[in-house]
Amino acid sequence: MHIPDGFINASTSLGAGAVAAGGLGVSLRRTAQTLEDKQAPLAGLVAAYIFAVQMLNFPVAAGTSGHLLGAVLAAVLVGPWAGVICVAVVLLVQGLLFADGGLTALGLNITNMALIGTAAGYLMVVLLLRVLPRTNTGLAVTAFVAALVGVLAASMGFVAEFALGGAVDLGNSISILAGTMAGTHLFIGIGEGLITAVTVLAVARTRPDLVYALRKLPAKTPAKLVVPAGGVT
């Protein structure tokens, strides 16, 4: 979902750059305040893993592919603030070294994939972990749905940016663009959801203590679900 140079005009790109810089600044400060010691190398690993999986484009329709964005994956594993930094680092490496994602579009891409993807996706994580049971299935469903929502929200970020400052005049077909983007990114989101669920489950089964969302979002009503003295667990 990397926007190249030239799709969006300079003023909108600049505006998104300011949004991205502000979001990264807040995220860095919150990360410095809340990051736990053992999470630091893990967060680096999450960024590296996202870089790797972003290379793995999977086909979603005739002539169209998609790849993981990783915002929800990172947010579940290391928290939303460090997660934003993880995705932004990946986008920086890709833009500065791999010629992937325009340099003038870096603010747009960070806004969409790191900020919007994390905000929308992590909101879903918080909501779903409150209502779903604290089981592997509950965690997998949470990861899947949140990742799907995160991708759709990020894709709508591009639609909004194009509506604000698209460089090519498409007439009044913003709604058509929105429909196309939502349609393909629904399928990309399913792929994102599957990869996110599988990865989160793999970590949760080997090292549940490393999953930020499980530590920081305690089950809302544990007393109702767990019989205190019972052996039914």
**Residues 133-162, interacting with other proteins (CB under 8 A):** 155, 158, 162
Q: Within a 10 A sphere around the Cβ of 91, how many other Cβ atoms?
A: 25
CB of 232 to other proteins, least distance (A): 25
Residue closer to other proteins by CB (options 121, 128) is 121
Stretch touching other proteins by CB under 8 A, among 13-21, 60-68, 118-126, 217-225? 60-68
Q: Which two tokens stand for residue 146?
A: 């949140």
CB of 151 to other proteins, least distance (A): 9
Residues 71, 123: Cα–Cα separation, whole Å:
12
Q: Is the dihedral of CA 153, 111, 189, 60 positive or negative?
A: positive
CB of 23 to other proteins, least distance (A): 15
Q: Is the dihedral of CA 191, 217, 47, 23 positive or negative?
A: positive
Neighbouring-strand partners of residue 64 = 61
**CB burial of residue 219 (10 Å; 0-12, 13-18, 19+):** middle
Residue closer to other proteins by CB (options 18, 167) is 167
Indicate whether 17 belongs to the interface with other proteins (CB under 8 A): no
Residue closer to other proteins by CB (options 48, 132) is 48
| Radius of gyration of the chain from its Cα atoms, rounded to whole angstroms | 18
Q: Which 73-132 positions form the footprint of other proteins (CB under 8 A)?
A: 82, 85-86, 89-90, 92-94, 96-100, 102-103
Q: Which 191-220 positions form the footprint of other proteins (CB under 8 A)?
A: 206-207, 209-210, 215
